């Protein structure tokens, strides 16, 4: 089988080639993102492999189908960017990698918290400049703080356990509470109470209509003054102008994000020589209490091995007409 890998980076190529040694698939690694225009290039392929910011709306899927594509193998867990109803109508199977490494993303969320709390990003830059002053580097202890986890699935559960290890009191909100979490001493509460009680809030829920802009003017007003908000899940969980307003008003104390509402036109690219046409991200970058990483929560050695191996297994299962629990259907969003 010949597979077009869109939005491909050097690490995708390295890990896919390693995973493919005994499989014999033929991969073409294409740097361009998948969209209705690039979908037209897939005539010679049997399947496409896509990533989080690829456009998998109806137009792209229709182009793919007219080129004969019947499988889109997502090399990510989230599928909010796929028009699943259109895929089903067109007879295109969508497969994903549901759990490549919850630890990778949970640990990245913790990295954002520790960096913001202890300002290590500032110390690093200062010391490189031979500035050994400690002025304006006062941080705060994580131990004893109340941490609110929104979404206690695979990543949220790992994150909650790590924060308990730091000596935090962990509370959670999820429409489907986990017994295991409750046994671990984590208390479920309402969304409003979670916002009101938490010193640190971390988002680990999927982007669905109910969670779209879950962080907005109202929910921000419920938060404690000076609270920290962490988002490693999906950018559109946050209404960015409201968050900027809250930071300006010195209500929201800290923001750590690995995802951004408009990341499709920015992230995964080196734009260092360009003028950035996105006022909101430029404002956020300018705030001293904001830390932004460009969707790298998944980017660990262990996760990349798992992503490549599961994606290849998904493609094999499709080729062998085997049913797979990694298939994504509209039922998963209903
Ligand atoms: P999961 O499916 O295991 O857990 C999601 C949890 O959210 C479930 O417990 C579900 O009940 C809960 N949920 C559903 N609707 C909710 C709502 N309205 N409010 C609160 N909770 C709700 O997913 P997993 O693997 O833990 O991933 C979570 C998210 O992390 C993904 O949806 C994806 O957006 C993001 N992610 C980010 C990555 C990164 O590199 N930054 C990499 C992988 C995933």
Please report the domains of the chain, with CATH numbers, ordered by start residue: 2-100+300-328 (3.40.50.720), 102-292 (3.40.50.720)
Q: What is the pLDDT of residues 72-93, one digit of tens each?
A: 999 999 899 999 999 999 999 9
**Which of 76, 151, 235, 256, when mutated, tests ligand 1's pocket best, judged by the most ligand atoms within 8 Å of its CB?**
151
More confident position, 100 or 61:
61
Proportion of the chain above pLDDT 70, given as a percent: 99
Nearest to 203 by CA among 242, 236, 252, 181: 236
What pTM value is reported for the model?
A: 0.94
Would you say the CB of residue 79 lies under 6 angstroms from ligand 1? no
End-to-end CA distance of the chain, in Å? 33
Task: Give the model confidence (pLDDT) of 108-150 as tens digits.
Answer: 999 999 999 999 999 999 999 999 999 999 999 999 999 999 9
pLDDT at residue 331 greater than cutoff 80: no
* Ligand 1 atom with minimal separation from the 296 CA: 40
Distances (CA, A) of 185 to 145, 147, 201, 323: 15, 13, 18, 38
Q: How many CB atoms lie within 10 A of CB 327?
A: 15
Nearest to 316 by CA among 22, 23, 7: 23
pLDDT digits (tens, 9 = 90+) for 194-217: 999 999 999 999 999 999 999 999
Average pLDDT over residues 228-251: 98
User: Residue 215 gets which letter from DSSP?
Assistant: B
- 33 ligand 1 Cβ < 6 A: no
Mean pLDDT of 10-26: 96
Catalytic residues: 234, 263, 295
Tell me what pLDDT residue 229 has.
Answer: 99
**Residue 235 Cβ contacting ligand 1 at under 6 Å:** no
Coil, helix or strand at residue 27: strand
Q: Which atom of ligand 1 is found nearest the CA of 99? A: 25
Q: What pLDDT does 89 receive? A: 97
Rounded to the nearest whole angstrom, what is the distance from the C-alpha of residue 145 to the centroid of ligand 1?
23
Question: Mind listing the pLDDT tens digit for each residue in 260-314?
Answer: 999 999 999 999 999 999 999 999 999 999 999 999 999 999 999 999 999 999 9
């Amino acid at each position: 089988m010949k597979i077009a890998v869109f939005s491909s980076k050097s690490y995708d190529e390295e890990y896919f080639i390693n995973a493919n040694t005994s499989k014999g698939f033929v991969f073409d690694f294409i740097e361009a993102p998948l969209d209705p225009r690039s979908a037209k290039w897939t005539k010679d392929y049997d399947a496409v492999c896509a990533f989080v910011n690829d456009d998998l709306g109806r137009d792209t899927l229709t182009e793919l189908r007219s080129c004969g594509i019947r499988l889109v193998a997502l090399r990510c867990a989230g599928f909010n960017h796929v028009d699943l109803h259109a895929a089903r109508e067109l007879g295109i199977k969508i497969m994903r990698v549901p759990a490549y490494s919850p630890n990778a993303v949970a640990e990245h969320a913790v990295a954002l918290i520790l960096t913001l709390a202890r300002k290590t990003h500032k110390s690093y830059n200062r010391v490189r400049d031979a500035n050994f002053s400690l002025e304006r580097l006062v941080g705060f202890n994580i131990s004893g703080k109340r941490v609110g986890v929104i979404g206690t699935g695979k990543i949220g559960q790992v994150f909650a356990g790590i924060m308990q290890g730091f000596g935090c009191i962990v509370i959670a909100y999820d429409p489907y509470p986990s017994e295991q979490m409750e046994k671990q001493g984590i208390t479920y509460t309402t969304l409003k109470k979670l916002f009101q009680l938490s010193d640190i809030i971390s988002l680990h829920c999927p982007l669905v209509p109910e969670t779209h802009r879950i962080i907005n003017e109202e929910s921000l007003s419920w938060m404690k003054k000076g609270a920290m908000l962490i988002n490693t899940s999906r950018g559109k969980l946050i209404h960015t102008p409201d968050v900027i307003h809250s930071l300006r008003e010195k209500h929201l104390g800290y923001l750590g994000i690995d995802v951004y509402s408009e990341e499709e036109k920015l992230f995964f690219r080196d734009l260092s020589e360009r003028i950035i046409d996105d006022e909101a991200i430029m404002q956020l970058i300018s705030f001293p209490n904001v830390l932004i990483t460009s969707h790298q929560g998944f980017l660990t050695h262990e996760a990349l091995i798992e992503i490549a191996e599961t994606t290849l297994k998904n493609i094999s299962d499709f080729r062998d007409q085997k049913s797979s629990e990694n298939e994504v259907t509209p039922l998963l969003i209903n």
